[in-house]
Amino acid sequence: MRAIFITVVAVVVLVTSAVADPAPALDPNRPVSRIAFGSCAKQNDPQPIWDAVLAAEPELFLLTGDNIYGDTRDMKVMREKYAQFNAVPGFANLRRRVPLMGTWDDHDYGENNAGGDFPVKRQSQQAMLDFFQVPPDSPRRAQEGVYHAQTFGPAGGRVQVILLDTRYFRSPLKSTPDGKGIAPNNDPDATMLGDAQWRWLTDQLRQPAELRLIVSSIQVVSEGHGGEKWMNFPRERRRLYDLIRDTHANGVIFLSGDRHFGDLSVMEAPGVGYPLFDVTSSGLTQAARRWRPLSPNTNRVAGMSFDPNFGLIAIDWQRDDPIVSLQIRDESGDIRINQKLPLSLLRPAAPATTTTTTTTSAPAAQR
């Protein structure tokens, strides 16, 4: 029995050490043209989808939440589930070959629909950062919340990835009168991101970039369904849109997960000056395997109601006006949703200029 135990331990060590070294870093002088993403991966379920992900040849992969189903306040259990995910052969292969970034949602945070009052969120943060191999001396170890951003590529081809934390600071949800859904929380003090993260996001949106992928674990643009979404906090979503407007941030596309199906939504937010797209990929394992009706979403452009899926953002930088493809692919690699748009569409319209010829100056009292 002891020999068998030692053998099992040795196998675990070999599996976990195989993913210990991060993938090669991206070349900062080369534009990133293929970014894959996905959410909702149950660590003890089969995960054949990673073969299709690798076949799509991503240069970067983003885990957008529910990366495991931890659902625990016991950090020993949480770490064991992360280790189980790391041991999935397809995912381990991806980690060796493709740089990885990500944020969390409720199930890898610790509890279904949990927010800022989750009692072990600090400990959960450290377990999550360990999984993403964040160095011990990183400032992300000391900050509250797992939000993070990086920009890839040279001027003219920069992609900024902004990872939001929609859990650590989020105010409590309000229930509908029947207790079966989530009602809008219009409390002026209610928050999705918290003051520190809002200040950080303001700074990030002022950074130069041609394309900005804002990762929110829950849907931003979708409206109509009774689950988690930014519209549970209408003031906060309005604040997000106003911030994009006020910082003149171009190139924003939202990436989200959570819903257990694929979704593409778009809306014209007042004052932003260009349409805001939200690409939802969910889940890597947790999508339904048979057809079902999609939940309501008044801003839906396209939907994929069943089958495991991942997202791919492909950018053709070779054109004078680069083309951005927003894709959802299934576990066979087939494209199930594809929206192509010119990058110029994601820029605020230049304000009209008026040329006025003045021959005399007004008296000071009339100025």
pLDDT of 102 strictly over 50: yes
Q: In this prediction, what percent of the chain has a pLDDT beyond 70? A: 90
Given this model, what pLDDT does residue 29 score? 87
Given this model, what pLDDT does residue 193 score? 98
> Which of 260, 292, 289, 215 minimizes the C-alpha distance to 40?
260
Which helix or strand (DSSP H or E) is residue 36 part of? strand 34-38
Lowest mean pLDDT among 202-206, 327-331, 363-367: 363-367
Tell me, what amino acid is at 167? Answer: R
For residue 283, cis peptide bond before it (omega within 30 degrees of 0): yes
- Average confidence (pLDDT) over 88-110: 98
Given this model, what pLDDT does residue 349 score? 79
75 burial type by CB count under 10 A (0-12 exposed, 13-18 middle, 19+ buried): middle
Given this model, what pLDDT does residue 353 score? 46
> Which of 300, 279, 243, 327 minimizes the C-alpha distance to 56?
327
Residue 356 within any structural domain of the chain? no
Mention every residue, 6+ apart, whose C-beta is less than 8 A from residue 191. Answer: 169, 170, 171, 198, 233, 236
Q: 128: how many CB neighbours lie within 10 A of its CB?
A: 23
pLDDT of 10 strictly over 90: no
**The pair of three-digit structure tokens given for residue 38, joined into one six-digit string:** 């996905």
The HSE-up count of residue 194 (CA atoms within 13 Å, CB side) is 19
> Which of 77, 75, 148, 65 minimizes the C-alpha distance to 107?
65
Q: What is the rounded distance in angstroms from the CA atom of residue 153 to the CA atom of residue 59? A: 12
Q: Which residue has the higher pLDDT, 365 or 25?
A: 25
Residue 24 within any structural domain of the chain? no
Residue 21 within any structural domain of the chain? no
Residue 4 within any structural domain of the chain? no
- Which residue range is the domain that position 114 belongs to? 31-348
Residue for token pair 């999508």: 287
Given this model, what pLDDT does residue 21 score? 76
Helix (H, G, I), strand (E, B) or coil at 340: strand
Residue 165 within any structural domain of the chain? yes
DSSP designation for 346? G
pLDDT digits (tens, 9 = 90+) for 227-239: 999 999 999 999 9
- Domains: count for the chain: 1
Cβ atoms of residues 133 and 88 within 8 Å: no
Helix (H, G, I), strand (E, B) or coil at 198: helix
pLDDT digits (tens, 9 = 90+) for 146-203: 999 999 999 999 999 999 999 999 999 999 998 888 999 999 999 999 999 999 999 9
Residue 5 within any structural domain of the chain? no
pLDDT of 51 strictly over 70: yes
Lowest mean pLDDT among 60-64, 72-76, 155-159, 354-358: 354-358
Q: What is the rounded distance in angstroms from the CA atom of residue 133 to the CA atom of residue 319? A: 36
- Average confidence (pLDDT) over 334-338: 98
9 burial type by CB count under 10 A (0-12 exposed, 13-18 middle, 19+ buried): exposed
CATH of the domain at 290: 3.60.21.70
Residue 12 within any structural domain of the chain? no
Given this model, what pLDDT does residue 3 score? 43
Q: Which residue has the higher pLDDT, 20 or 288?
A: 288
> What is the CA 273 to chain-centroid distance, rounded?
22
Assign 351 a pLDDT band (cuts: 50, 70, 90).
Answer: low
pLDDT of 316 strictly over 60: yes
Q: What is the rounded distance in angstroms from the CA atom of residue 65 to the CA atom of residue 137? A: 24
- Average confidence (pLDDT) over 73-98: 98
Given this model, what pLDDT does residue 356 score? 36
Given this model, what pLDDT does residue 359 score? 30
pLDDT of 16 strictly over 60: no
> Which of 216, 210, 208, 209 minimizes the C-alpha distance to 241?
216
Across all residues in the chain, what is the average pLDDT? Answer: 91
Helix (H, G, I), strand (E, B) or coil at 331: coil
pLDDT of 67 strictly over 70: yes
Question: Which alpha helices (H) appear in the chain, and where do they start and end?
Answer: 2-17, 49-55, 75-86, 89-97, 106-109, 121-131, 139-142, 195-205, 234-246
Residue for token pair 């990086």: 150
| DSSP line for 259-296 | SSSEEEEEE--TTT-S-EEEEE---SS-S-SS--PPPP
- Average confidence (pLDDT) over 313-340: 98
Q: Which residue has the higher pLDDT, 72 or 14?
A: 72
What letters, b where the CB count within 10 A reaches 16 and e where it falls short, cover 307-322?
A: bbbbbbbbbebeeeeb
- Average confidence (pLDDT) over 342-364: 58
Assign 358 a pLDDT band (cuts: 50, 70, 90).
Answer: very low
